[in-house]
Amino acid sequence: MASEQLWPLQVEARGGFRLWVRFDDGVEGEVDLSQHAGRGVFKVWDTPGVFETVSVSPHRSIRWTEDVELCADAIYLEITGLDVEEIMPGLSALADA
């Protein structure tokens, strides 16, 4: 797999704090974010309608507010079940340097 950045093209809130995302390489799927609901910065999701405001930010994160966003790469990894080295070869070598 290439090491280029993956761009989320579409994002849609689903019931039960689930999120559907489609990426520019054709990968799409749903992730369950309920483990984050009501915790820390994600408490904002407890306000009716906030979870449904999800969008893709200009810097490719998945965001709800300026303070609440998730890394698109992490969502991609969860959807695909891939390891970070499979989408970003050499990353662990950089971290070890």
Q: What is the per-residue pLDDT for 93? A: 60
Domains and CATH numbers, the chain: 8-96 (3.30.2020.10)
pTM to 2 decimal places: 0.84
The 10s digit of each residue's pLDDT in 45-97 is 999 999 999 999 999 999 999 899 999 999 999 999 988 888 877 766 655 65
Contact by Cβ (8 Å): 64, 44? yes
| pLDDT of the residue at 2 | 46
Whole-number Å distance between alpha carbons of 33 and 40:
13
CA 52/CA 34 separation, integer angstroms:
14
- C-alpha span between 27 and 22 (Å, rounded): 6
